Amino acid sequence: MWDEAFPSFLIGLREGLEAGLIVSILVATLVRADQKARLPQVWSGVAAAVALSLSFGAVLTFTAANLSGHAQEAFGGVLSLIAVCFVTAMVFWMRRSARTLSAEIKEKVQASLAMGAGALVLTSFLAVAREGLETSLFLWTNVRTAGESTGPLIGAAVGLVLSAGLCWGLYRRALKMNLTRFFTITGVGLIVVAAGVLGYGLRDLQESGLVGGGTSYAFDLSGRLDASSWYATLVQGTLNLTVTMTVLQVVGYVAYLGVVMTLFVEGVRSGGRAQAAPAAA
């Protein structure tokens, strides 16, 4: 169960912290400006975003349950690919924005305060809804992969609770966190997880008949390795690698991991050099 919980824990921690930072700065700004009476506007936007995210997850589950077997595979495969695109875009956006995130958020908060109640509700709603919808989609794909296991749900819940605690600590200034380093480390982990989701999504599309090559296996270790063993379960739960994988799955996994990880690491290095240059000057 815990091996299947880790990917969801990672996405819950990262997405929760990203949304929580914006809400924390909103709350802190209102408190410091002696406008605590406007806090319900922030929480109204947060509540609406949470309700939307939960509804989105319910719609995905209901839609998949009412499809035929092949249609379910196609539906799940397409959503897995969409989830990979969202996570990849999020990872690179946070890599670019982590160093200036706090300043950008504060500017948006100040603009929202000047525009009135509707802007406050909308700002908090959009901050949480964007991350919430991405979390719902990614979590839905993980739950579908895990079958009847509750690991992904528990992992996501733990990640969200921990992110809420971290945001509270940052709000109270009890914690000093290097956001650039945090988002770099979690970004590397999510790229590896997303590569596994891509492989799983491609297999779904092959089983649905939308994509060919379903019987062209890159390797089949089912005769040598026990798929139900703890080590096979661990690898499958964390990396979505199975004892039997098609050529398309392996090519997609390796190509995505090689290209995206290289671009991400190079971006981190170039950003570090750019930051070091002014300091040296």
Per the listing, tokens 């929760």 go with 16
Range 245-278 burial, b when 16+ CB lie within 10 A, else e: bbebbbebbeebbeebeeebeebbeebeeeeeee
pLDDT tens column, 238-261: 777 888 999 999 999 999 999 999
> How far apart are the C-alpha atoms of 192 and 239, rounded to whole Å?
7
> How far apart are the C-alpha atoms of 114 and 120, rounded to whole Å?
9
Q: Amino acid letter at 196? A: G
Task: Specify the pTM.
Answer: 0.76
pLDDT higher than 70, residue 109 = no
C-alpha triplet 83, 89, 95: angle, nearest 5°: 135
> How far apart are the C-alpha atoms of 252 and 56, rounded to whole Å?
28
Q: Long-range contacts of range 214-220, CB-CB < 8 Å, 24 or more positions apart?
A: 214/246, 215/246, 216/246, 216/247, 216/248, 217/244, 217/245, 217/246, 217/247, 218/245, 218/246, 218/247, 218/249, 218/250, 218/251, 219/244, 219/245, 219/250, 220/244
Confidence of residue 26 (pLDDT cuts 50, 70, 90): confident
> How far apart are the C-alpha atoms of 261 and 267, rounded to whole Å?
10
pLDDT tens column, 228-237: 776 777 777 7
C-alpha triplet 261, 265, 270: angle, nearest 5°: 150
pLDDT higher than 80, residue 39 = yes
Where do runs of H (alpha helix) occur along 116-246?
117-146, 151-171, 179-208, 230-239
Per the listing, tokens 């700002």 go with 123
pLDDT tens column, 205-221: 999 888 888 889 998 88
